[in-house]
Amino acid sequence: MSTSLSRPPHTRPRGDATFHAPVPSRRGMGEELRIWWREIDKWLLGLVLLLMALGTVAVAAASPAAGNQYDVAEFTFFQKHIVFQVLGMGVMIAVSFASRENARRLGIVLAVGMIAALFLVPIIGEERNGARRWLELGMSMQPSEFLKPGFAILLAWMLSWRLRDAELPVLGYATLTMALVAALLMLQPNLGATILFGGVWFVLVVLSGVSLVRIGGLIALGIGGMTAAYFLYDNARYRIDSFFGGGTAFDQVDLAQRTLLNGGWTGSGLWLGTRKMNLPEAHTDYIFSVVGEEFGLLACAVIMLLYVAIIARALIRLVDEENLFALLAGAGLATLLGGQAFINMLVNLQLFPSKGMTLPLVSYGGSSTLAVCLTVGLLLAITRRNPFLEREKPGLKDLFGGSRPGGSRAAEREGFL
């Protein structure tokens, strides 16, 4: 009998000896969990869970006002929020188990799917308060919410191509993607989301290492876009004029500010607030004002500091990251969370025009809560790190190095070589 037929499986001849190839073994669930716990950023996860817990208390405080507005039982929204919080945490933890490669694939597929959904919104979308932003798919879904994490990862993937070929027009690809998304959003219209997406695009383009001349051109392009929105969209012009012209007692932003300041430093106490009962969307867009009235400005400061801590922790985790895609994707996802949070808080403080934007991880939401938890899950997956592996050098120092002397090695780490 020939040697090839009698050879045991997983072996091949090597000279006079027999080489036994390693047999791949599948990890059990317990082993996967131990690896996840070793690699996950526990500080980041803890800060997120703490903010979600505070959000649950805030929705409990706002639920009577929302129930009064929508003529339902006063704790209806609180009960629904608990369900979506549990589902959201499940999504967040499940996604955080993904490898960076799988997180990248998920983000790209999500971005392509949600951009396709945005084409359907003006045709079959549901209209609310003069805007058509929602699709009814068994439950009300806002495609732009799920596009946010996918958009950040898609742009990070595009901009990381520069490691493969410095001559690739990655800036052009990223800009065209941003222009397409902005056009689809303004058809709804959704100026707030357009500004947030534009901010993510700008941060990632800057981090990818473009020249100062191009950055100046991008700033001019953004100013031109805002000017065009003011003259072409009545909704944008009304919000901007109301902001600069000063509010009245009947404006939502003015009501929000009055509610926020009504509790003083320590608040009136849980369910003892009165101004919140006249505040539209107290459980979503203006929940920060409800926190101010019932728990005080000190509680508002704690929430603000938690957002700062989450962003800072994510950036600290990324500061010595060698993988350009991971650096850009993590920074983009952190920008999404921080940008949306601070826009919402500035609106409640009457320092920014009303945008109809929720406070992530705090506001009530169905699909929006799931989308935010998906964003956090992707951020946790991107920032996972084996604590036993040493870094060769800080990634940010190498980011703006022009010719990138270690470019071939960096490209190999990115999977291009």
Residue type, 414: E
- Smallest CA-to-CA distance from 362 within 42, 94, 149, 62 is with 62
Question: Which pLDDT tens digit goes with each residue over 24-47?
Answer: 556 678 888 888 999 999 999 999
pLDDT tens digits, 72-126: 988 999 999 999 999 999 999 999 999 999 999 999 999 999 999 999 988 888 8
pLDDT of the residue at 146: 94
Q: Which of the four pLDDT bands, split at 50, 70 and 90, describes residue 211? A: low
Tell me the C-alpha distance between 143 and 384, whole Å: 27
| Among candidate residues 119, 122, 120, 114, the one with its CA nearest the CA of residue 143 | 114
For residue range 247-277, list pLDDT tens digits in order. Answer: 544 467 778 888 888 888 988 988 888 888 8
Which pLDDT value is given to residue 365? 84
pLDDT of 364: 92
Beta carbons within 10 angstroms of residue 87's beta carbon: 14
Q: Indicate the pLDDT class of residue 394, thresholds 50, 70 and 90.
A: very low
Burial (CB count within 10 angstroms: exposed 0-12, middle 13-18, buried 19+), residue 108: middle
Judge contact between 417 and 408, C-beta under 8 A.
yes
Q: How would residue 170 be classed by pLDDT, with cut points 50, 70 and 90?
A: confident
Q: Across the strands, what pairs with 18?
A: 13
Helix (H) or strand (E) holding 11: strand 11-14
The 8-class DSSP code of residue 20 comes to: E
User: Residue 401 has which token pair?
Assistant: 């190095």
Tokens standing for residue 187: 């058809």
When pLDDT is cut at 50, 70 and 90, the band that residue 340 belongs to is very high
pLDDT score, position 254 = 79
Torsion of CA 230, 235, 236, 242, to 10 degrees: 110
- The 3-class SS string of 72-89 reads CCCCHHHHHHHHHHHHHH
Q: How far apart are CA 324 and CA 321, in angstroms?
A: 7
Mean pLDDT lowest for which of 1-15, 286-300, 338-352? 1-15
- Residue 10 per-residue DSSP state: T
Question: What pLDDT does residue 135 have?
Answer: 85
Element (H, E) at 406: none
Distance in angstroms (rounded) separating the CA atoms of residues 242 and 372: 29
Provide the CB-side half-sphere exposure for 40 (13 A, CA). 24
What's the pTM value of the predicted model, to 2 decimals? Answer: 0.82
CA-to-CA distance for 63 and 70, rounded, in angstroms? 10
Spatial strand order of the sheet with 140-141 comes to 126-128, 131-136, 140-141
Query: What is the domain partition of the chain in residue ranges?
Result: 61-386
Structure tokens at 377: 């899950």
More confident residue, 16 or 210: 210
pLDDT at 298 over 80: yes
d(CA 85, CA 396): 35
Q: What interhelical angle do 191-207 and 170-186 show, nearest 10?
A: 170
